Amino acid sequence: MTPPTPRARPVAPVWLDRALAFAGATAALLSFGLFAWLVWDLARLGLPRISWTFLTGEIEDAGRSGGIGPLLVSTLLILVCCLALVIPLGTGCALWLSEFVRRGSLAARLVTGGVDLLASVPSIVFGLFGMVFFGQTLKMGFSILSGGLTLACMILPILVRTTLSALEALPADLRPASAGLGLTRTTSIVKLLLPAALPGIVVGITLGIGRALSETAALIFTSGYSIRWPSSFWDSGRALSVHIYDLTLNVPQSGAMASSTALVLLALILVVNSAAVALSEHWLRRRHQTS
């Protein structure tokens, strides 16, 4: 017969629990504190300057004073170019992956693999690529067009992934149902699948915009540094993020202006990303209600 085994101590060490709780709380507080500090600094330095004239005025004294009007326009135009390419390309690719090839087939695996690899490419490399491909080979030079198209390549994986998951999340009986009605594949895609997947696509686009807005490295060699009001897509134009970079790197005593610009940029991104979150939550809730 085995005697009951002796045990050294009655129960679990409380100190480990305490230590974990303490370390965890410290870490949580630390990360929150650091980010609060960052936002606080930007607001303290940048907020006083923000006004209507700042948002619409031209850059003066290399950026030490004046506004950011032309930059907002350039940024917007870059986004327009970017979306004009990425929306058809991204949704098209996702549609092909979900509707025209079997999942797990070689072609599908190659394309998704390519897209995933694309997502891993550092943004500065997109910059180099855009410079030589759009700028030189396609002769766009330093232009808003070139910058926008480069960004399109960069955010393409985001759009493909979100659209694909939106399409895959559609009810499985939608496709046989439309086939049963004798709809052609094109009709079924345009009239049924795309509208049904639209919320997901919109979320993907919104996320992509957020990412594009925050990008700097891909733009410094493509859309360039010009601070004039852009008059066409072929002009060079400086994006907000590039402005922050340039001020910090090249213009002494411009911290306050950089902070104001950063604050505007952050506000834009915050709005865009919150919209994405709100949209996807709204969409999820509706799906749960209807299903």
Partner 1 sequence: MNSTGLSRENDAETPSSGGHRTVAASLSVSGLSVHYRDFTAVGGIDLEIPEGEITALVGPSGCGKSSFLHSLNRLTDLIPGCRVAGSIRLSDGTEVTHPKTDVLSLRRRVGIVFQRPNPFPQSIRRNFEIPLKEHGWRKRDIPDRMETVLREVGLWNEISDRLHKSAIALSGGQQQRLCIARALALEPEVILFDEPCSALDPIASGVVEDLIHSLRGRLTVVIVTHNLAQARRIADRAAVFWVRDGIGTIVEHGPAERVFTAPSNPDAASYLSGARG
Partner 2 sequence: MLGLLALVAGGMVLLIVWYLFSNALPVIEAGRLAAFFTDSLWQPRSQRDPQFGVVSMLVASFLVTLLAVALALPVGLAGAVFHRFYAPPVLERWNRRMLELLIGVPSVVFGFWGLMVIVPLIVRLAPHTSGQSLLAASIVLGLMILPIIALTSQAALQAVPPAQLQAAAGLGMGRARTIWSVALPAAKGGIGAGVLLALARAIGETMAVVLVCGNIPQIPKSLFDGIRPVTSTIALEMGYATASHKALLFCAALILVLFTALLVGWLSFRKVESDPGTGGA
Interface with partner 2 in residues 201-230 (CB under 8 A): 210-211, 213-217, 220-221
Residue 277 binds which one of partner 1, partner 2, none, with CB within 5 to 8 A depending on kind?
partner 2
**220 contacts 250 by C-beta, under 8 angstroms:** no
**114 contacts 274 by C-beta, under 8 angstroms:** no
Does position 1 interact with partner 1 (CB under 8 A)? The reply is yes
Least distance in angstroms from the C-beta of 235 to partner 2: 19
Residue placing its CB nearer to partner 1 in the complex, 16 or 106: 16
Residue 196 binds which one of partner 1, partner 2, none, with CB within 5 to 8 A depending on kind?
none
Amino acid identity for residue 13 in this structure: P
Residue placing its CB nearer to partner 1 in the complex, 12 or 106: 12
Residues 6+ apart with CB under 8 A from 186: none
Long-range CB contacts (within 8 A, 24+) of 120-123: 121/154, 122/217, 123/154, 123/215, 123/216, 123/217, 123/218
Among 3, 104, 176, 252, binds partner 1 (CB under 8 A): 3
Residue 223 binds which one of partner 1, partner 2, none, with CB within 5 to 8 A depending on kind?
none
Identify the residue whose tokens are 């004009």: 84
**188 contacts 179 by C-beta, under 8 angstroms:** yes
Residue 5 binds which one of partner 2, partner 1, none, with CB within 5 to 8 A depending on kind?
partner 1
Identify the residue whose tokens are 């891909």: 218
Q: How far apart are CA 25 and CA 41, in angstroms?
A: 24
Least distance in angstroms from the C-beta of 27 to partner 2: 4
The residues that touch partner 1, with contacts defined as CB under 8 A, are 1-12
